[in-house]
Amino acid sequence: MSCFSFLKLMMFIFNGVVFLSGLALLGIGIWVKVDSTSFVKILGAAAPHLVQLINVGYLCIALGTFLLLMGFMGCWGAMKESKCLLLMFFVVTMILFVAEVAGAVVVLAFSSVADIFVEHMKNWAKKTLEKDYGKQEDITAIWDTTMKELKCCGFHNYTDFNNSYFYQTYTKYPSVCCKQNQECQESEIDNDKKGCFQEFNVFLSKNGKIVGGVALGVGGLELAAMAVSLILYSQIGTRG
3-state DSSP assignment of residue 1: coil
* 125 and 66 inside one domain: no
* 149 and 208 inside one domain: yes
Among 144, 141, 154, which Cα is nearest to 194's? 154
**What does the alpha-carbon distance between residue 174 and residue 125 come to, in Å, rounded to a whole number?**
16
pLDDT interval class at 55 (50, 70, 90): low
* 72 and 129 inside one domain: no
Asked if residue 98 is part of any domain, the answer here is: no
Among 115, 149, 141, 161, which Cα is nearest to 55's? 141
pLDDT tens digits, residue range 189-217?
Answer: 998 899 988 888 777 777 667 767 777 78
* 117 and 73 inside one domain: no
Asked if residue 89 is part of any domain, the answer here is: no
CB 70 within 8 A of CB 29: no
The mean-pLDDT minimum among 8-17, 106-115, 149-158 falls in 106-115
**What does the alpha-carbon distance between residue 226 and residue 4 come to, in Å, rounded to a whole number?**
15
- Residue 2 C-alpha from the chain's centroid: 39
Is pLDDT above 90 for 108? Answer: no
**What does the alpha-carbon distance between residue 215 and residue 108 come to, in Å, rounded to a whole number?**
14
Mean pLDDT calculated for residue range 149-153: 89
* 135 and 235 inside one domain: yes
Asked if residue 85 is part of any domain, the answer here is: no
Is pLDDT above 60 for 40? Answer: no
The rounded mean pLDDT for the chain is 81
pLDDT interval class at 172 (50, 70, 90): very high
**Containing structural domain, residue 170:** 108-240
pLDDT interval class at 46 (50, 70, 90): very low
The secondary element (H helix, E strand) that includes residue 79 is: helix 57-79
CB 154 within 8 A of CB 183: no
Is pLDDT above 80 for 188? Answer: yes
Percent pLDDT > 90 in the chain is 17
pLDDT interval class at 45 (50, 70, 90): very low
pLDDT at position 62:
84
Is pLDDT above 90 for 42? Answer: no
The number of distinct structural domains making up the chain is: 2
